[in-house]
Amino acid sequence: MAEESLETDGPRSSMPAELHHPHSKYSQWKFKLFRLRSMEKAPLPTETRPEKGALLGISPPAALNIEFDNGMGPGSVMKLCLGGKSQEYVEGPGRRVDMKLQEMETHMNQLRCLCRLCGMVLRKVNGPVHNVNEDLDEVSKGALRKMGCKFPSWPGVILKVFKVDVTEDTESVHPLSFCHRCWVVAIRGGGVCSFSRTRVPEWKPHSSTCHLCSPRKHSFQRTGRKRRKAIPRAQSLAKRTRRDHGDSIAVGERRALRPFGDHHHGPVLRAWRKPSIQREQWVRNITHCQKDHLNIKLISEKLPVDFLCSFKCLVCDHLLSDPVQSPCGHLFCRSCIIKYNHVLGPHCPACNLCCGVDDLAPPAKAFLSALYSLSLLCPRSGCGKQVRLDSFKAHCLGHELDEQDDKQQSSELDNYLLANKGGRPRQHLLSLTRRAQKHRLRDMKNQLKAFADKEEGGDLKSVCQTLFLLALRSGNEHRQADELEATMQAIRVNTFLSCSQYHKMYRTVKATSGRQIFQPLHTLRAAEKELLPGFHQFEWQPALRNVSTSCSVGIINGLSGWASSVDDIPADTITRRFRYDVALVSALKDLEEDIMEGLRESGMEDNACTAGFSVMIKESCDGMGDVSEKHGGGPAVPEKAVRFSITVMSVSVLAGEGEDKVTIFTETKPNSELSCKPLCLMFVDESDHETLTAVLGPVVAERNAMTESRLILSMGGLPRSFRFHFRGTGYDEKMVREVEGLEASGSTYVCTLCDSTRAEASQNMVLHSITRSHEQNLDRYEIWRTNPFSESVDELRDRVKGISAKPFMETQPTMDALHCDIGNATEFYKIFQDEIGEVYKKVKPSREERRSWRAALDKQLRKTVKLKPVMRMNGNYARRLMTQEAVEVVCELVPSEERREALRELMSIYIQMKPVWRATCPAKECPDQLCRYSFNSQRFADLLSSTFKYRYNGKITNYLHKTLAHVPEIIERDGSIGAWASEGNESANKLFRRFRKMNARQSKAFELEDVLKHHWLYTSKYLQKFMEAHKNSAKAMQATIDPVESQDYEDILSSLEVKDF
């Protein structure tokens, strides 16, 4: 036994096989003569070197187990014997990682003792210690408030006083506390400045030359004395004590060598008995995942140990949470490996191979399914349920919610009893005012808003409606719940939910309530098909020229009808549209109830009116600007979009032969986005004339074919005949010039309605008439193209009056009310600046002077009228700027009283003129202003040509010219300008961006299809009436059930400040 013990315990047992002598009975003292210096273990930088003459230690056997599978053959062992000192051959990867963890633990312990701001040791400074990331305590907050500092937490104060940002500090690099001396400095400076020169040290990550773990001895540096060299001595073995059983430590029934440099007995022995405990403590200080990740002991089934180890994170030893796989095949929690690599460097904790965060990838789906199917035992006392891993979080959350409800009920009951002792009784929620309701429901509103932002994409309205519906079902009020359920059939369109979001909400509500509150997704899609173009049957008499007779045509490619020749190049764009005739059929079927109701109100028989229907269509087309998104693939197309839309303005019928037409339907809100139906969406720049011609060419061809035919469509159970009249009025100045082939807005020819030049328009501002037309523009383009009289460029340009491209779409000669208002507001904004700087006295003011005038104007408007400056004029800014109140504010900056009166008069005349072109029907809404329009326009022109001659001498803007010269003629011909504006198409731009974000897909083509479909459904009259009707029926039903406490549920939603979509 003695020989056996000697053979296993001595240093000979840990030698490589090549060093074993064939005669194994040599004693230990003989082996000491053959000890190789290469077997010494170099101490780490954090360890102290052994004293002179101390025992030369040997690494534990676990560190000297040389694995030949990893590429270490006999050659590498001989290299070790020949004097190699690399730890790569002495220690295994696990031992090296443990040593690095131990170094980081020592480094972090050093940091915890230092001040973050001055670097001094905390125990040397009298007073409490403060955390750099905590909120201000009451004493500090009170002291700083007296000096005017309103920061709620220490990071803001430290940034202001010490000029150091501590919000991004990490525990492994920076100390987390600061001393009382720095606290006094911050308080004396009032949280704003520092009256002492505190030099904040620069904290660097731990390295081999860390000044905290390996400090220099400053005594030698101060005196300049030379360091004395150590006298080399022959290394000898230390003398053993009687209790020491050799250089080994008992671990179970085995004996392991004591590590190098370890001369203490008690605590070190305990540490080496279980090194995994120390490692776990080191990793815990890095990951901080004990509260988030699950222990592997929660697995209820008795599974093989090796099988369980595959589901364990190799960093934190917990069950894998959001697992990722390294290139070497090891698995970790995502958060753990990121924190580990941040502290210890980019390498694998298991095999020490190089592994960065970008190299991590999700594991295979088969492994994830096996992981999530593990059965865990609920640790809550009294539960004892076995829950799958994928639903374990929801199960524990249910326990927490139950506990919170119990605590809240008990606390509310206690508060109620305490608050009502001898006081006023607590009023019911519905009997309170709106303000009191908001105050009482404030906490619940914040919780609902947080839940909606986190789970439902910010859709607070659907969350409140779902809660109200569940409350009705729980109270067995099923009749009222059915009414509300019918209202929520169209919830996906009206709340901008995608298919996956709606299906998720449907499954969640059905699983939690046990009832089918929402209709399943396939039922909703079947209902949507009836509202989309391509569902109804129709016929054209005669058949449309060059158009298919198929009725079931949905969304098509916008370039499908383009007749390309050999020389033409296909347009490099993505466009999707409905076929024009199919879209008109769907729009008419959507108005079927309104048309039949109009027939009944007019006193006409349904059976008699089967022909003679006339439909007026307003066409709108405008660019939406930059709509670029980070998602989507496909060809390189411009990230600018254009939408072509239609609006059914009116439907009239011929009562009989020789009688006038009777209007049976008129659009009440022609400028709303709810009435502007999208026909074509395209990714193209509106300035690209060739691409617009290619995309809108088929649309124009279909429109021309429909004007020569009549539609036979079933309406009210009978086939009826419809004829269509198209008016292209929803275009702004830029788009009209593009489609009619005119030059840009800054050209000599100022107007799209007449042939006046800019100089002629400024000399005669009022007396002009509409002379341009689509046919005339086509004839002029032919002259421009052929030049039959062989004229020069200037002569030819004067002859064609600014036509330089082929007109491809007919537009109605009119004025866009929205852009006219914006253009005039822009001109008034410039007039205000000129009057502030008194430009009428100066010849050419500098750019710096103009900037100062604009800054003064913006400051005055923002201070008095609360009008924030904008980079580009918009409709909201224009409406608030063009008021008498804004002029009075500007007049405070104008020095001359005479110029102030001129500005007031100019704005007063404009305010009288504006309702004429903005009103839907000016003859009914503003007849007085319409009668005085010619007089007001003449007075306005006189002011511009006299008082403001410095600005309008030989020039005038496009919209001012149209406002003064063409408004009475357009209203006399059309009856209105505001009803035919492009405001509905403009206000629908925000819908495009919202629908595109909702339907984000990999392909822009499919994405455009989804946006077009959802936008068409959003404008459906049937859905709007359906929701409104069921909303009213829900009110009546609730008033019938409980007339005393009848309260519209929308009032409750509005008390929670739900924003309408």
pLDDT digits (tens, 9 = 90+) for 58-84: 333 333 333 334 444 434 333 333 334
Question: With left for phi above 0 and alpha for psi between -120 and 50, is residue 478 left, alpha or beta?
Answer: alpha
The CA-CA-CA angle for residues 317, 318, 323, to 5°, reads 105
Range in 197-206, 237-246, 665-674, 836-845 with the lowest mean pLDDT: 237-246
The CA distance from 316 to 288, in Å, is 9
Q: Annotate 193-237 with DSSP letters as a single string.
A: --SS-----------TT-TTTS---HHHHHH-PPPPPPPP----P
Instruction: State whether residue 587 is helix, strand or coil.
Output: helix
- The larger pLDDT score, comparing residue 1056 to residue 615, is at 615
Residue 197 CA: distances (Å) to CA of 117, 193, 625 = 11, 11, 54
Residue located via tokens 């203490």: 264
Distance (Å, whole) CA 206 – CA 213: 9
pLDDT band at 179 (very low <50, low <70, confident <90, very high): very high
Q: Among the listed ranges 453-467, 500-514, 553-567, which one has the minimum average pLDDT value?
A: 500-514
Instruction: Kindly state the tokens that stand for 980.
Output: 């035919």
- CA torsion 279-281-286-287 (nearest 10°) is 100
Distance separating the N- and C-terminal Cα atoms of the chain: 88
Higher pLDDT, 442 or 258: 442
Burial of 558 (0-12, 13-18, 19+ CB in 10 A): buried
243 pLDDT higher than 90: no
At residue 640 the predicted structure's pLDDT band, cuts being 50, 70 and 90, is confident
Most confident of 140-154, 305-319, 521-535, 586-600: 586-600
Confidence of residue 831 (pLDDT cuts 50, 70, 90): very high
Task: Output the pTM of the full model.
Answer: 0.52
pLDDT at residue 417 tops 60: no
User: pLDDT grade, residue 381 (50/70/90)?
Assistant: confident
Distance between CA atoms of residues 305 and 378, nearest Å: 21
Q: Are strands 575-578 and 555-557 parallel, antiparallel or unpaired?
A: antiparallel
Q: How many CB atoms lie within 10 A of CB 146?
A: 9
Decide if pLDDT at 587 tops 90.
yes
Cα–Cα distance, 782 to 788 (Å, whole number): 9
**Dmax over Cα atoms in the chain, in whole Å?**
134
Percent of the chain with pLDDT over 70: 71
Task: Supply the pLDDT for residue 825.
Answer: 93
Q: How far is CA 160 from CA 100, 157, 165, 210, in A?
A: 37, 5, 9, 30
DSSP structure class, residue 435: H
CA torsion sign for 941, 947, 948, 949 is positive
Query: What local confidence, expressed as pLDDT, does residue 69 receive?
Result: 41
pLDDT at 652 over 80: yes
Strand partners, 646: 619, 677
| Helix and strand totals (H; E) in the chain | 45, 17
Tell me which of 181-190, 207-216, 524-533, 535-544 is least confident: 207-216
3-state secondary structure labels for all residues of 54-71: CCCCCCCHHHHCCCHHHC
- Lowest pLDDT segment from 631-640, 645-654, 702-711, 784-793: 631-640
**Cα 726–chain centre separation:** 40
CB 533 within 8 A of CB 522: no
Rounded to an integer, what distance in angstroms lies between the CA atom of residue 1019 and that of residue 626? Answer: 23
Q: What is the residue-averaged pLDDT of the chain?
A: 76
What pLDDT score does 1002 carry? 59
Query: Which alpha helices (H) appear in 224-321, and where do they start and end?
Result: 266-273, 275-287, 305-309
Q: SS3 of 737, please?
A: helix
Of residues 985, 973, 958, the one with CA closest to residue 753: 958
Residue 392 above 60 pLDDT?
yes
- In tens, the pLDDT along 913-964 reads 999 988 888 888 899 999 999 999 999 999 999 999 998 888 899 899 999 9
- Provide, rounded to the nearest whole percent, the portion of the chain with pLDDT above 90: 20
Query: What is the pLDDT at residue 629?
Result: 64
* C-alpha span between 91 and 75 (Å, rounded): 17
Least confident of 132-136, 141-145, 936-940: 141-145
Q: Cβ neighbours of residue 46 under 8 Å, at least 6 residues apart? A: 102, 103, 106, 213, 214
Range of weakest confidence among 35-44, 322-331, 687-696: 35-44
DSSP 3-state of 642: strand
> Band of the pLDDT at 725, cuts 50, 70, 90?
very high
* φ, ψ dihedrals at 796, nearest 5°: -65, -35
Average pLDDT over residues 147-162: 86
Beta carbons of 381 and 366 less than 8 angstroms apart: no
The lowest-confidence range among 122-131, 423-432, 901-910, 1001-1010 is 423-432
Please tell me the predicted confidence (pLDDT) of residue 485.
Answer: 60
Peptide bond into 542 cis (omega under 30): yes
d(CA 1034, CA 482): 9
**pLDDT over 80 (residue 807):** yes
pLDDT of residue 263: 40
Looking at mean pLDDT, say which of 210-224, 316-330, 1012-1026 comes out highest: 316-330
- The answer to whether the CB of 1006 falls within 8 A of the CB of 1000 is no
Alpha-carbon dihedral 91, 92, 98, 104, rounded to 10 degrees: 70
Please give the residue that has the higher pLDDT: either 539 or 8. Answer: 539
SS3 for 679? Answer: strand
For residue 1055, pLDDT beyond 80: no
Q: What is the DSSP string of 342-408?
A: HHH-SB-TTT--B--GGG-B---HHHHHHHHT-EEE--STTT--EEEGGGHHHHHHHHHHHHHHHHH
Q: Give the separation between CA 28 and CA 34, rounded to whole angstroms.
A: 10
| Residue in 22, 33, 38 with CA at minimum distance from that of residue 76 | 38
Amino acid at position 166, single letter: V
Chain-centroid distance of CA 627 in Å reads 14
Would you place residue 815 in the very low, low, confident or very high pLDDT band (cuts 50, 70, 90)?
confident
For residues 674 and 1052, which has the higher predicted lDDT (pLDDT)? 674
Minimal CA–CA distance to 269: which of 292, 250, 294, 293? 250
Cα–Cα distance measured from residue 505 to residue 528, given in angstroms and rounded to the nearest whole number: 18
pLDDT in tens, 937-949: 999 999 999 999 9
In sequence order, what are the beta bridge partners of 620? 645, 730
**287 pLDDT more than 60:** yes
555-557 and 677-683 beta bridge pairing:
unpaired
pLDDT of residue 783: 93
| Cross-strand pairs, 248 | 257
More confident site: 360 or 281: 360
Is residue 500 predicted with pLDDT exceeding 80? no
Select from 616, 729, 726 the least CA-distant residue to 664.
616
Q: What does the pLDDT read at residue 721? A: 92
What does the pLDDT look like over 654-669, one tens digit per residue?
877 667 788 999 998 8
* pLDDT on residue 602: 85
The answer, yes or no, to whether residue 309 has pLDDT greater than 90, is no
pLDDT band at 219 (very low <50, low <70, confident <90, very high): very low
pLDDT at residue 461, rounded to an integer: 75
H helix or E strand, kind and range, residue 793: helix 793-800
Task: Name residue 266's amino acid.
Answer: G
Residue 644 is predicted with a pLDDT of: 93
User: Residue 247 pLDDT more than 90?
Assistant: no
Specify the higher pLDDT residue, 64 or 837.
837
From the list 679, 675, 677, 715, the residue with the least C-alpha distance to 1024 is 675
pLDDT at residue 90 in the model: 41
- Residues 296-307 have a mean pLDDT of 83
Grade residue 6 by pLDDT with cuts at 50, 70 and 90. very low
The better pLDDT of the pair 288, 54 is held by 288
Question: Alpha-carbon distance 266 to 391, whole Å?
Answer: 47
pLDDT, mean of residues 267-289:
60
Average of per-residue pLDDT across 379-399: 84
Residues 713 and 720 sit within 8 Å (Cβ to Cβ) = yes
